[in-house]
Homo-oligomer: A and B are copies of this chain.
Amino acid sequence: MAAPDAVGGGAHPLDAAIRLAPAGAGHRRLRGATSEAYWNSVGPFGGITAAVMLQAVMQQPDRIGPPLSLTVNFPAAVQAGGFDIVVRLLRGGRTTQHWALDLVQGDGDQPMASALVACGVRRPVWSDREARPPALPPPPPDFGPRPGAFPVWLRHYREHVVRGGLFGPAPDSESAAWVVDHPPRPLDYPALAAMCDAFFPRLFMRHAAPMPVATVSLNVYFHGDDAAMAAQGCQPLLTEARGQVYEGGFFDQEGRLWGEAGRLLATTHQVVWYRD
Chain A residues at the B interface, C-beta cutoff of 8 Å: 68-69, 71, 73-76, 90-91, 93, 95-96, 98, 100, 102, 110-111, 114-116, 118, 120-131, 172-173, 202, 206-207, 211, 216-217, 219, 221, 223, 225, 242-250, 252, 254, 264, 267, 269, 271, 273-276
- Of residues A118, A221, A269, A276, which shows the largest number of chain B Cβ atoms within 10 Å of its Cβ? A221
Name A263's closest neighbour in chain B (CB-CB): B245
A269–B223 CA distance with the chains assembled, in angstroms: 13
Oligomer: number of copies: 2
B100 touches A246 (CB 8 A): no
A126 touches B207 (CB 8 A): yes
Q: List 17 A–B pairs whose Cβ atoms lie within 8 Å, in order of A's numbering.
A: A68-B216, A68-B217, A71-B73, A71-B217, A74-B98, A75-B91, A75-B96, A90-B102, A96-B216, A96-B273, A100-B100, A100-B102, A125-B275, A129-B245, A130-B245, A219-B219, A223-B247
A126 touches B246 (CB 8 A): yes
